[in-house]
Amino acid sequence: MSLDRFVSLWPEQGSHYAEQVDWLVIGFTGMMALFVVPVFVFLWIFVFRYRRGRAALRDHRPDGSLKVEITWMLLPFIGALVLFVYSARLFFEARTPPADALEIQVTAKQWMWKFQHHGGQREINTLHVPAERAVKLTMISEDVIHSLFLPSLRVKQDVLPGRYTQMWFQAERPGTYDLYCAEYCGTDHAAMGARLVVLSPSDYQRWLEGAGDAPSLAAQGEALFRQFGCSGCHAVASVTRAPPLQGLYGRSVALADGSRVVADDAYLRDSILLPQKQVVAGYAPVMPTYTHVMDEEAVARLVAYIRSLADTPPDPSPPHTEDPQ
Ligand code: HEC
Ligand SMILES: [Cu+2]
């Protein structure tokens, strides 16, 4: 293991975003140097030229120059503004995953990383992704706060218990990159590392096929939906009145307290684990909580299943008709 792994002036750049972040750091450092270096240069010149006992001309001190003062205020202001605009752009880019990003679900726990792919493939402490493709991670913790850090891609995001957080990146070149936990999370925090394996698109396709033929995440969710008795209430013909879940994802839902909320991943998760938190308008708050019954990975599968129903039209009547799909 070389020193380069710990201290590196030019760390590996795994994405276009990483290059831009580095330019921001270089730009900032450069601008600071532009301010600091002249101050110290003149400081030392004057210290020597005008020190006590030295025969120097001390008359005709200038007592102000508007031009100089305006210049030294305006130039740093413009410089800071340029950096601000550049970094704000990067900030928005980092927080706006492209709509067609490949979605991967991440569950962190002391002290490991678990990944679930859309197709149902699961991995622990290794994550395979394709190169040249935006990848969006939806992350949650089963215990304390962790933080997923991919130094070569210059992205890092806290992973919290009880709340989904998201992060996206697009690795440009195949290779293996380090993945760290960047939030102290207990005894084995330092060992909570993983590998990000970036494959060429065709290798990635091959990997997906070779990684076992588990049913897709949504299909696994559908199985849980029956196993946990959700269908007993949510199926069209059920006795208990519960809202149909077809076409729910992405829609705006009216709640019993008069507010509205968009049914995104976080809303679906909370509906399953904390059903009393947001009760749908017009329904009795009779749904049981599943907090101690299923783990976050299972919830993520159910969310994937309900998402897959997004394109199914909400059609509660007439009962006893099977869904065409
Ligand atoms: C005892 C009947 C019952 C069971 C079992 C049940 N639910 Fe519900 N569910 C309801 C009712 C009633 C509502 C509407 C009131 C509310 O929001 O709590 C609801 C609301 C929801 C919502 C929000 C729907 C919307 O339109 O916004 C989701 C999502 C949901 N349930 C998913 C599930 C899942 C997943 C399971 C199984 C793990 C499940 N439910 C089990 C009765 C049930
Ligand atoms: Cu951790």
Give 54 or 114, the one with higher predicted confidence: 114
* 75-109 pLDDT per residue, tens: 989 999 999 999 999 999 999 999 999 999 999 99
- For atom 24 of ligand 1, the residue with the nearest CA is 243
For the chain, what is the HEC assignment? CCHHHCCCCCCCCCCHHHHHHHHHHHHHHHHHHHHHHHHHHHHHHHHHHCCCCCCCCCCCCCCCCHHHHHHHHHHHHHHHHHHHHHHHHHHHHHHCCCCCCEEEEEEEECCEEEEEECCCCEEECEEEEECCCCEEEEEEECCCCEEEEEHHHCEEEEEEECECEEEEECCCCCEEEEEEECCCCCCCHHHCCEEEEEECHHHHHHHHHHCCCCCCHHHHHHHHHHHCCHHHHHCCCCCCCCCCCCCCCCCEEEECCCCEEECCHHHHHHHHHCCCCCCECCCCCCCCCCCCCCCHHHHHHHHHHHHHCCCCCCCCCCCCCCCCC
Give the ligand at the shortest distance from the Cα of 291. Answer: 1
Give the pLDDT score at 297: 93
The CATH number that domain 102-210 falls under is 2.60.40.420
* 267-320 pLDDT per residue, tens: 999 999 999 889 999 898 889 899 888 999 999 999 999 999 987 765 544 444
Binned at pLDDT 50, 70 and 90, residue 155 comes out as: very high
Give the pLDDT score at 110: 93
* 10-32 pLDDT per residue, tens: 888 999 999 999 999 999 999 99
Superfamily designation of domain 217-308: Cytochrome c-like domain (1.10.760.10)
Q: For ligand 1, what atom is nearest to the CA of residue 232?
A: 5
pLDDT over 50 (residue 323): no
Ligand 1 pocket, residues with Cβ under 6 angstroms: 228-230, 232-234, 240, 242-243, 245, 248, 253, 263, 268, 271-272, 275, 279-280, 283-288, 290, 302, 306
Binned at pLDDT 50, 70 and 90, residue 322 comes out as: very low
> From ligand 2's centre to the CA of 6, what distance in Å?
19
* 194-249 pLDDT per residue, tens: 999 999 999 999 998 887 778 889 999 999 999 998 988 888 777 778 888 988 99
Give the pLDDT score at 3: 62
Give the pLDDT score at 232: 86
> From ligand 1's centre to the CA of 249, what distance in Å?
14
- The preferred substitution site among 224, 234, 246 for testing ligand 1, maximizing ligand atoms within 8 Å of CB, is 234
Q: pTM for the full model?
A: 0.85
Binned at pLDDT 50, 70 and 90, residue 325 comes out as: very low
Give the ligand at the shortest distance from the Cα of 246. Answer: 1
Give the pLDDT score at 4: 62
- For atom 11 of ligand 1, the residue with the nearest CA is 242
pLDDT over 70 (residue 163): yes
Give the pLDDT score at 2: 56
> From ligand 2's centre to the CA of 94, what distance in Å?
22
> From ligand 1's centre to the CA of 247, what distance in Å?
14
- For atom 41 of ligand 1, the residue with the nearest CA is 230
- The preferred substitution site among 220, 248, 268, 271 for testing ligand 1, maximizing ligand atoms within 8 Å of CB, is 271
Give the ligand at the shortest distance from the Cα of 223. Answer: 1
